[in-house]
Amino acid sequence: MKALVKTILAWSATSLLASAVPAAESYSVRDYGAKGDGSTDDTAAFQKALDTAGQAGGGVVTAPRGNYFFAGHLDVPAAVTLRGMWESVPSHVGIRNAGGDKPTDDGTTFLVTESAGNEEGSAFITLHDNSTLKGVVLYYPRQDSAAEPQAYPWAIALRGKNPAVLAVEMLNPYNGIDATHNERHLIRDVQGQPLRRGVLVDAIYDIGRIENVHFNPWWSQKPRLYQWQKEHGEAFIFARSDWQYVFNTFCFGYHTGYKFIKTGTGVCNGNFLGIGADDCDTAVQVDECAPMGLLISNGEFTSFHGADPTMVRVGPENSGSVRFVNCAFWGPCNQVAAIAGRGTVGFSDCTLVQWDRKNEGRAAIQAEAGTLLVRGCEFRENKAQIEIGAAVRRAMVTDNIFTGSSRITNHSQHSVVISNNAGDQ
């Protein structure tokens, strides 16, 4: 009985404390003149509500069910949340059906039209310190699902400290999220089909976080548009970021799935867990990364199409470290990895399947230079496994499992260790 009384008292105290915390001030865009009828320009009404919340020191601006048309762009002040009706990301419900042209009334949908043909224009929504976008669908009604896409600016730009994008579907933007020049961004539960670029990360000097972001061709797989996306699309692009955290992300049908580049601010290092790229010409492309490295674990990567489908490409300028741990690679592709540069590339406890699709004698992993580590991997094709080029200065290929006999070609005259590999012939 005493234990029960203590429990009740503790619960009562917690309830009283919770009730003493004031709820965030709420402002409905309807009260500021937004129509949500799909044709009236609601830009000014939304901005007035956002500015009112910002002048009050913060709050939540709500956009109830409706199709809100925008001829302009929005700026979300510090400590303000712009919230639609969705608590979790919706399943591409912003239009009547995939590839359709008519918005539904299923939820909160923003119809974006400003700066068609001008990629350098202002982002549709810009977030600042501690501001958030949540629970909406972004849809570009003037984008033709059967044609090569029309350029637009970024759908969302993140600036300042702790901006967040939560439970948002970017149904068909040309450019998705510009996550540059901010600190501690949070991008979580985002889906859609960005056509040219999905997420760009750069100039991040305090840890950024990207979680549960999936890009699939839900809006359109019509041949002309989809082929353009396959030739030009880049799902995730990373430049300078000091320990970027990326978890449970996925993309399908892009020219490049994950691209690591160098800009004027620097290069990326980070922790990438549970990431995937399906049917991308190149799943992971590393032009350059930081010395402390890219830690890529529990990933799955496939390449089928394009002129030379190869899942991992490391460029000649790279001097950093790239490590794949417990990842799966399959095709049918030309190669799993083509490696150049002065850096280190490692594969540990990985599974490699379906390379050398044209039976040209290509090895699954071809290293032209740098340092190569291949340990504890399983090669599930009776084909050439590894080719070590003359410019490779260090390599360790140990404790791997081969289908068939060992087929490792070593052209290097430098320090190379090949040992304890087991084939079934």
Mean pLDDT of 34-47: 97
Q: Is the pLDDT of residue 10 over 90?
A: no
SS (H, E, C) 54-114: HHCCCEEEECCCEEEEECCCEEECCCEEEECCCCCCCCCCCECCCCCCCECCCCEEEEECC
pLDDT of residue 8: 45
- Verify cis geometry, omega within 30 degrees of 0, for the bond prior to 103: no
DSSP code string of 11-57 = HHHHHHHHHHSPPPPEEEGGGGT---EEEEE-HHHHHHHHHHHHHTT
Longest CA pairwise span in the chain (Å): 80
pLDDT over threshold 80, residue 253: yes
Task: Give the pLDDT score at 195.
Answer: 98
pLDDT single digits (tens) 260-281: 999 999 999 999 999 999 999 9
Average pLDDT over residues 322-331: 96
Q: Is 94's pLDDT higher than 70?
A: no
* pLDDT grade for 105, boundaries at 50, 70 and 90: low
- 336-345: b (≥16 Cβ within 10 Å) or e: bbbbbbebbb
- Whether the predicted pLDDT of 245 surpasses 70: yes
Q: Is the pLDDT of residue 401 over 50?
A: yes
Instruction: Report the pLDDT averaged over residues 142-162.
Output: 97
Average pLDDT of every residue of the chain = 92
SS3 content of the chain, % helix, strand, coil (to 5): 10, 45, 45
> Nearest-CA neighbor of 206 among 158, 162, 145, 151?
162
> Predicted confidence band at 54 (pLDDT cuts at 50, 70, 90)?
very high
pLDDT recorded at residue 266: 97
Grouping H, G, I as helix, E, B as strand and the rest as coil, residue 3 is helix
Spatial separation of the C-alpha atoms in residues 46 and 68, rounded to whole Å: 10
User: What's residue 236's pLDDT?
Assistant: 98
> Under DSSP, is residue 5 helix (H, G, I), strand (E, B) or coil?
helix
- Average confidence (pLDDT) over 108-134: 97
pLDDT at residue 99 tops 50: no
- Residue reference for tokens 């639609």: 84
Task: Quickly name the fold that domain 24-178 has.
Answer: Pectate Lyase C-like (2.160.20)
pLDDT at res. 24:
67
pLDDT band at 9 (very low <50, low <70, confident <90, very high): very low
Rounded to an integer, the average pLDDT of 71-88 is 97
User: How far, CA to CA in Å, does 86 sit from each of 32, 65, 202, 237?
Assistant: 21, 9, 29, 27
Which pLDDT tens digit goes with each residue over 329-365? 998 999 999 999 999 999 999 999 999 999 999 999 9
Residue 97 pLDDT greater than 60, yes or no: no
pTM: 0.92
110-122: pLDDT as tens digits? 999 999 999 999 9
pLDDT at residue number 103: 61
- What pLDDT band is residue 104 in, cutting at 50, 70 and 90? low
Q: How far apart are the C-alpha atoms of 311 and 333, rounded to whole Å?
A: 8
Name the percent of the chain lying above pLDDT 90. Answer: 88
